[in-house]
Amino acid sequence: MSVIPFPGPAANPDTITEDSWQALGQHTVARIALGRAGASLPTRETLRFALAHAQARDAVHTPLDGDALAATLQQAGHSVLQVQSAAANRAQYLQRPDLGRRLHTGSRAHLLAQQAAGCDVLFVVGDGLSSLATASHAAPLLAATLPYLAEAGLSVGPVVIASQARVALADEAGECLRARLVVMLIGERPGLSSPDSLGVYLTSAPKVGRMDSERNCISNVRPAGLPYPLAAFKLAWLLRAALQQGSGVALKDGSAAEPGWAALLAGTRTSTLPA
């Protein structure tokens, strides 16, 4: 019978052994090169993980202040409508995704009562799974996008703020307000390094029953991810292309091939809509 010798206590158990990848860890928020203290993670990394987990939970459960967001958008010149989904509260929203995809009957009636003449693009702003993302990034992204739409002569409907919302709720809102295209700005499921990531979903001819394959998505919109100017340029390109051929899996994003994209990457703002 072989005996595995016990290594005994470390000379200094409080000493942190740094990982050889530490230099690479400076270039990403991903959890790499954490080091170790004895056989465990250093206390600093355990605390960082606990903080990130708490931030992700807060992003999911903190309610969106719809009135504050509406006031911000109205100050920027937008007409705003507030609605809610068929989910009665946050717990039901998390347990019943289907209810988050449909408007509450009262909210549907409210939109239909607008007797909208229709618009080219309707923006719906939903809380989704990160109210932090919506509250932080929806208004700046709209501000960066609207000049492109104005240059293209596209009409924009009132901004619809939706609580307890899933992506598909925008289809019903777009149908009620007779929009050619609907864009849902919604908080994405938070990760342990990105509790404030905003997702953008584009759907042509919105109506209840649209499938996810009939949408296009831009993900991780935030200063630490896809910055507002680049996201706005990409969204404007997709909107123009969708008006010509419809949205969905057949529509491929070609915005990065446009000269304006290179200019934005170089830090030079372009004032023209991508062709």
Pairing of strands 159-163, 80-84: parallel
Ramachandran category for residue 186: left, alpha or beta (phi over 0 → left; psi -120 to 50 → alpha): beta
Contact status, residue 221 vs residue 197, Cβ threshold 8 Å: yes
217 annotated to bind ligand = yes
**Do residues 243 and 179 lie in contact, with contact meaning Cβ atoms separated by under 8 Å?**
no
CB-CB contact of 218 with 237 (8 Å) = no
Q: Residue 138: name the closest of 224, 56, 225, 70 by CA.
A: 70
User: What burial class does residue 25 get, using C-beta atoms within 10 Å of its C-beta: 0-12 exposed, 13-18 middle, 19+ buried?
Assistant: middle
* Residue among 258, 242, 274 at smallest CA distance from 151: 274
**Burial label, 185 (beta-carbon count in 10 A; 0-12, 13-18, 19+):** buried
Q: Is 188 annotated as a binding residue?
A: yes
From the list 242, 272, 93, 121, the residue with the least C-alpha distance to 185 is: 121
Q: Are 200 and 217 in contact (CB under 8 A)?
A: yes
Sequence-ordered alpha helix ranges (H) in the chain: 22-25, 43-61, 66-75, 90-95, 97-100, 105-112, 131-151, 169-176, 228-245, 259-265
- Residues forming the annotated binding site for adenosylcob(III)alamin? 167, 188, 217
- Residues forming the annotated binding site? 167, 188, 217
